[in-house]
Amino acid sequence: MMDARKTLLYHFCRLRWPRLGLSFADFERHLERSLERFHSKRGDNGNAAALDGFLENLHPADWYLSCACLERDDTAWELLFQQRASRVDCLLVDALRARAVRLFPGNEEEQEQAVSDFWGHLLAGEKQGRAPALAKYDGQAPLVPWLIRVFQNKVISEKRRKNREQPLPEDELGDSDLPPPQEGEERWHEEFRLAAREWLGGLTEDEQLLLGLRMRYRLSQRDVAKVLGIHEGNVTRRTDKLRERCLEEIGGKLTELGWTGDDLQGFIDKEMVALLMDDPRLSADAIAQLLARRGKQPPEENPNPEIRNPK
């Protein structure tokens, strides 16, 4: 019975990922590894009921993709980079960047370095002889949220080591170890998110294009000017004007609600990138449609030009 279920699972995954060439022997080896980890976490002895539990909660497509990545399949890594987070048009790498903004507020260099280093970490154990980070994924949770939490755990552990503090346990993948907000702070972060979404709803098409080209496609001001056919100085002025209106409108909304702070920068550092990248009006498709109306072609989307296959 077990052999039949393994065969069915293998062919289901092959149908889901026809471009991946994981052999049946490698598939069996990864299945045994994942089962062993699953049983170890549950403290059982690998009986039939435990196997049923593993298969019942398995996310087979995610798990199979992770196995192919562990086999250093270039196509698998390309597919992993293309995976989406929970919201529409949010690439995995964008979700990691948003988390990096929370962990390194105001430090763009640290943010980019953390994301770039993460891919190699997935294939390398923290210490010699230890399993790679990705080998700890047993398919019992969706892959993308799991990766985001592992990324967060890695960064926080490294910060603690630098401060000579105890790093997080290897299997601690939750959000509980983030610095706790000050009293009432979370309420204002939520109010900021609501006010920012309201501000985004009032953007003109020109402003959508400006933000989309700068944030979604990560173009320089000079490249934005070329795409839009305007002078680079106009891009600078429009960007400054948009930023000022953003701060004025969102700050005014929070003040009306009783906020007494004097600086929005903390909210912007922690929230704004994720809000912009999650907004469907700034998606690649939406920006492409706006450009098409003007007879222009969108630039090639490149979420992270520095990422290379971690071989």
Q: pTM for the whole thing?
A: 0.53
User: Range with the lowest mean pLDDT among 69-73, 74-78, 176-180?
Assistant: 176-180
| pLDDT, position 303 | 45
Long-range contacts of 149-153 (CB under 8 A, 24+ apart): 149/173, 149/174, 149/175, 150/122, 151/96, 151/99, 151/100, 151/114, 151/115, 151/118, 152/99, 152/103, 152/178, 153/177
Q: Looking at the structure, tell me whether residues 193 and 288 fall in a common domain.
A: yes
Q: What is the pLDDT of residues 246-259, one digit of tens each?
A: 888 888 888 777 66
| pLDDT, position 47 | 56
| pLDDT, position 88 | 43
Q: Looking at the structure, tell me whether residues 189 and 282 fall in a common domain.
A: yes
Q: Looking at the structure, tell me whether residues 76 and 92 fall in a common domain.
A: no
Q: Looking at the structure, tell me whether residues 72 and 99 fall in a common domain.
A: no
User: Range with the lowest mean pLDDT among 28-32, 255-259, 304-308?
Assistant: 304-308
* Mean pLDDT (whole number) for 253-274: 72
Q: Looking at the structure, tell me whether residues 51 and 147 fall in a common domain.
A: no
The answer to whether 238 touches 206, Cβ cutoff 8 Å, is yes
Decide which of 54 and 68 is more confident. 68
Give the range of the structural domain holding residue 120, as residue numbers without chain letter. Answer: 88-162
Give the angle subtended at the CA of 94 by the CAs of 93 and 96, to the nearest 5°: 65
| pLDDT, position 70 | 94
- Asked whether residue 131 is assigned to any structural domain, the reply reads yes
Q: Looking at the structure, tell me whether residues 152 and 194 fall in a common domain.
A: no
Q: Is residue 34's pLDDT more than 70?
A: yes
- Asked whether residue 298 is assigned to any structural domain, the reply reads no
Q: Looking at the structure, tell me whether residues 53 and 110 fall in a common domain.
A: no
Decide which of 36 and 124 is more confident. 36
> For the stretch 147-185, what's the b/e string if a residue is b when 16 or more beta carbons lie within 10 angstroms of its beta carbon?
bbbbbbbbbbbeeeeeeeeeebeeeebeeeeeeeeeeee
Q: Looking at the structure, tell me whether residues 242 and 269 fall in a common domain.
A: yes
d(CA 101, CA 273): 8
- Asked whether residue 132 is assigned to any structural domain, the reply reads yes
| pLDDT, position 133 | 86
How many independent structural domains does the chain possess?
3
Q: Looking at the structure, tell me whether residues 285 and 208 fall in a common domain.
A: yes
- Asked whether residue 299 is assigned to any structural domain, the reply reads no
- Asked whether residue 179 is assigned to any structural domain, the reply reads no
Q: What is the pLDDT of residues 141-186, one digit of tens each?
A: 888 888 888 888 888 888 777 776 555 444 443 333 333 334 445 6
- Asked whether residue 302 is assigned to any structural domain, the reply reads no
Q: Looking at the structure, tell me whether residues 211 and 270 fall in a common domain.
A: yes
Q: Is residue 31's pLDDT more than 90?
A: yes
* Mean pLDDT (whole number) for 209-224: 87
- Asked whether residue 152 is assigned to any structural domain, the reply reads yes
Q: What is the 3-state secondary structure (H, E, C) of the chain?
A: CHHHHHHHHHHHHHHHCCCCCCCHHHHHHHHHHHHHHHHHHHCCCCCHHHHHHHHHHCCHHHHHHHHHHHCCCHHHHHHHHCCECCCCCCEHHHHHHHHHHHHCCCCHHHHHHHHHHHHHHHHCCCCCCCCCHHHHCCCCCCHHHHHHHHHHHHHHHHHHHHCCCCCCCCCCCCCCCCCCCCCCHHHHHHHHHHHHHHHHHCCCHHHHHHHHHHHHCCCCHHHHHHHHCCCHHHHHHHHHHHHHHHHHHHHHHHHHCCCCCCCCHHHHHHHHHHHHHHCHHHCHHHHHHHHHHCCCCCCCCCCCCCCCCCC
| pLDDT, position 51 | 67
Q: Looking at the structure, tell me whether residues 240 and 140 fall in a common domain.
A: no
Last residue of a domain, one of 80, 108, 136: 80
| pLDDT, position 244 | 86
Q: Looking at the structure, tell me whether residues 274 and 198 fall in a common domain.
A: yes
